[in-house]
Structure 1
Amino acid sequence: MNILIVQLVPPSHAPDRPRFCHELGLAVAMLRRRNLEVALVAMSDYDRDRLRSAVTRHRPSHILMDVPPHRHTLARHTIVEIAERHYLPVILVGRYATSQPEQAISIPGVTALIRGEYDQALPRLTAALATSDLSPAEVPGVWFNSEEGLVRNVPDKPTADLDTLPHPDRDIFDYGRTVSAEHEAAFRATRGCLNWCAHCLNDWYIELYGRDGYLRRRSVDHLLAEISAVVERYQGIQGIVFEDHAFATDAEWLARFAEEYPRRCGLPFRCRVCLNAVGQHTAELLARAGCRQVDVQIGSGSNFIREEVLTLRTSHNQILNGVSSMKRAGLAVRGMVFIGVPYESEVSVEETLDLVTALKLDEVVPRIFFPIAGTRAAEVCAENGWISGRGEECFYVPRSVLEMPSLPAERIDEIFHRFHALLRSRSGHSLAAWWRRIRKLATQPLHTFGRSRRRQRPRGHQ
């Protein structure tokens, strides 16, 4: 059985360079354990010639796609073309298949999909499709279009011991090109997330598996063994990035990591940190391990939007204290904020600017909010009739697709493009801010200057 993976990469990505994906790499490793032939073709848009060339070269029996939820329109067009021109059945996995299974299984050409984590179910499904010993309808987590109708199977519990899984396959992603372009190697220490953010699809996985035992962590030794193997295999790696949100949430594990990582690897790394789960001890452990930068999600300066709309569950004080702890530990802090979230207004934008200015972050990354189908935030937008006719291409442009009475799309786009200029004006680094200070001083009564100087004299000075 031969499988061809069709990967939809971002438009800004090199159109022919695959993008490393931990889940997909793990699935490929599991399939190759069973001696299946697996190949991959990357496309930033539908490319008929590139797809035909890949099909001719690899002669697959099935197509596998892990569809990004914000590219389901492109995916649908691609799948229909595959079915009509190449007569190949398509298997869908990933977040789109998990959160929108009814829509996904109805696409002409889709023979099956897997809901939830697919590293265990995919090898079983391919074995069932290749032989008559097992029916695809018997594989947990699989939705299958059978002759008797649509079969909807509940998934098994996810793999509890992550150390029993192989390291993700990176060769299929032509990972040497990724290292040459980015000079970093990406890893994950955990699987699962216990946060319930409204703009994320994680709640679908929590509903499938429950909260107990869903967040799992690799041992330090297992993680470092993968890092050592990757650094040795791919030349030119200058830094490491840990992409999981829960990387630094276990203090005992992090203490062990801080002891072993500098000795066994030593490359500088960056990671994500949850501001509602970080203190001075965690920050110091990260610094001791070799962390140089942390990425934090601030979301919004508005408490209502951050805690009620986005349900980030991170308070104003937790943000201030968390960033302060990391800066005291010598870590650079890069923060992400949304522009144009549901119920955004000029007032909430001002609150975001105020908070970001007070934090004095080393880098700020503004993002225009995009309502990903299947998220609770997207449901709020749809219920209020805020989603315009603009398509999923706005996710990458970026442009807002929301027309809200409190903040129209045109104004959201303007704020996004001027965000750093607005920050500079508040921080006093812009020419306009400098001129305003000069004008303020010019209108200040002369006698106040003397008072100001006298107040600054040391106490007791005559």
Structure 2
Amino acid sequence: MKKVLFVYPNLHAQIGFNYGISYISGLLKVHGIETKLLNINEQLGYPLDHERIKKDVLTFGPDVIGFSVLSNQHKYALEIGGEIRRYTDSPLVFGGIHPTMDPRGTLSHDVPDCVCMGEGEEAFLEVVEKGDPRGVRNMGYKKEDGIVLEPLRPYTDLSTLPFKDYDIFDFQQMIDAKDGWVGLLAGRGCPFRCTYCLNHKIIQLYRDVGHLPKHYIRRHSVDEVLTEIEYLLTRYQRIKMFIFDDDIFTFDKAWLREFAEKYPSVTKTSFVCNAHVKMFDDEVAHYLKKAGCRIVKFGLESGSDRIRRRVLGRYMSNTDIEKAFAAAHKYDLHTSAFLMIGLPCEEKQDLMDTVRLLAAIRPGRFRWSLFFPYIGTRAYEIAEREKAIDFERWKNLDNFTDETCMDLGEEVNLLVDKVKDSLCAFINGYSGDQEMEGYRAIVEEIESMDGPTWEKEKEGLRTRIGELDQKTGETGCTFYSVKYNRFMGVRSDWKDDSLSA
């Protein structure tokens, strides 16, 4: 029996379920191939420990080693792979987002023998069975005279795939580490072409070899999704919430209507999903509420219409955003807004437009990150053209919540750091509510500080904001405070602390 070892570096980052590995491993097992995973994440008890990795690799004795590589984790994949090369001759295959977006750059390093581009289930199986990437569609590899990138095969038919492999993960440990939240994927693809996202690049890669974009968006049937949910509820304990990680869960109203009819008969467990303001109305909100949705998440990214259109390729107005949030609130759905700061071409006014929009729509929660230009995306090209990327920091960042690799000029850089550090206070202060005058005073103080003063005072300001949060909470006023993690603001009327995001 052949053996495949998967390595998933996910260091100094949030715990995440790797759908790609679960799908591929499920397919390999059906074909009689044994699999194992090294899920390298310090929060799961597996830090970057080369001696431990060596012991696990040699004990398992894999025929092939497959790395799932995110751009922020590429340096760790190279480091781990380089060490593995010292004691095994097993071929190393790099797959995932980073090799798909930059296959030639990935193959320029000595560590990987080949890369798997795009959807990898069938390609990786073929390579393992054949023992050679040459002539295998979706594969890239090195030859003496250069690099060969084989054409991509058609998009995977999801109905042909076996059940995802949860056993390869210590899945109960992941459930408990995430306070009972369990990720699901009902389909693949997105109808939008946002510049910062990988979807437009993947569509172009497939289109270049004749595969039409209309086949990119695919869905498991409602019954397939419900069967998977029943399996998880039967096999694992302490599941409190499902979270659908589909880019847009709500785009197909007929599918959603069937789901709303059937889901409550399978489980009373609430769920979270992603939506888009241009595909959200009272009808969608009704179906979600009927099914048992607790939280609906929207990607806003910026409150600046200029930035959304010119930089992000998100063609929606603030009015569209306000209507979608109003519809969700009408049906008592807890709303979550995603946003990015430190975007290419962002100016002070754009940042403050984001603050003002959030203060106006009053989402149940919001989550912010620092913009990271992923190689291969149009947003990367925009940032590069603007000479706004600090490439040394870009190479060394582990995540996009702690630091930024963008350089937008001294004045904007300073405001980005202030907003990142005190966003809840900014939104409270800009709400216009009389009860928020304390926050308004602190925000005015922050806005007036120069760089050295801000660096000196920021720790003390965090303490003052925390004290004001406690005092405001005692009054019963509705306000935002940092909760669950350092990059999430939650409205004070959310009371269920057992369901942390």
TM over 0.5: yes
For 2:336, what is the secondary structure of its paired residue? strand
Matched, 1:3 2:9: no
Matched, 1:22 2:19: yes
Matched, 1:414 2:418: yes
Asked whether the 8 Å contact 1:400–1:413 carries over to 2, the reply is no
Q: TM-score, normalised by structure 2?
A: 0.81
Report deviation, 1:313: 2.2
- 1-side partners of 2:235 and 2:347: how far apart? 50
Asked whether the 8 Å contact 2:426–2:440 carries over to 1, the reply is no
Asked whether the 8 Å contact 1:400–1:412 carries over to 2, the reply is no
Matching residue of 2:93 = 91
Matched, 1:279 2:281: yes
Matching residue of 2:491 = none
Asked whether the 8 Å contact 2:54–2:84 carries over to 1, the reply is no
Report deviation, 1:431: 4.5
Matched, 1:399 2:403: yes
Matching residue of 1:450 = none
For 2:105, what is the secondary structure of its paired residue? helix
Report deviation, 1:56: 2.0
Matching residue of 1:313 = 315
Aligned partner of 2:397: which letter? E
Q: Which moved more, 1:82-91 or 1:179-188?
A: 82-91
Asked whether the 8 Å contact 1:248–1:273 carries over to 2, the reply is yes
Matched, 1:205 2:176: no
Matching residue of 2:300 = 298
Kindly report structure 1 stretches of 4+ aligned residues shifted beyond 4 Å.
146-149, 433-436
Report deviation, 1:77: 2.3
For 2:85, what is the secondary structure of its paired residue? helix
For 2:213, what is the secondary structure of its paired residue? coil
Asked whether the 8 Å contact 2:372–2:400 carries over to 1, the reply is no
Aligned partner of 1:392: which letter? N
- 2-side partners of 1:393 and 1:314: how far apart? 31
1:143 pairs with one of 124, 140, 144: 140
For 1:4, what is the secondary structure of its paired residue? strand
Asked whether the 8 Å contact 2:347–2:412 carries over to 1, the reply is no
Report deviation, 1:247: 1.2
Structure 1 unaligned residues grouped into runs of 5+: 130-134, 437-462
Report deviation, 1:146: 4.8
Q: Which moved more, 1:275-284 or 1:370-379?
A: 370-379
Asked whether the 8 Å contact 2:300–2:337 carries over to 1, the reply is yes
Matching residue of 1:263 = 265
Report deviation, 1:207: 0.9
Report deviation, 1:144: 2.5
Report deviation, 1:358: 0.7
Q: Which moved more, 1:371-380 or 1:250-259?
A: 371-380
CA RMSD of aligned residues (A): 2.0
Report deviation, 1:251: 0.5
1:247 pairs with one of 246, 249, 258: 249
Aligned partner of 1:49: which letter? E
Report deviation, 1:397: 5.1
Asked whether the 8 Å contact 2:196–2:379 carries over to 1, the reply is yes
1:430 pairs with one of 433, 436, 440: 436
- 1-side partners of 2:374 and 2:121: how far apart? 24
Asked whether the 8 Å contact 1:11–1:396 carries over to 2, the reply is no
Q: Which moved more, 1:110-119 or 1:375-384?
A: 375-384
2:240 pairs with one of 231, 238, 254: 238
Decide whether aligned partners of structure 1 residues 10 and 371 sit closer, same or farther in structure 2, where only a CA change above 3 A counts: same
Aligned length in residues:
426
Aligned partner of 2:123: which letter? A
Structure 2 unaligned residues grouped into runs of 5+: 42-46, 207-211, 443-501
Identity across the alignment (%):
27
Could you report, residue by residue, the CA deviation over 1:273-322 in whole angstroms, capped at 9, with x for unpaired residues? 11111111011110001001111111111101012201122222211111
Report deviation, 1:184: 1.9
Matching residue of 1:444 = none
**Larger Cα Rg: Structure 1 or Structure 2?**
1
Asked whether the 8 Å contact 1:401–1:409 carries over to 2, the reply is no
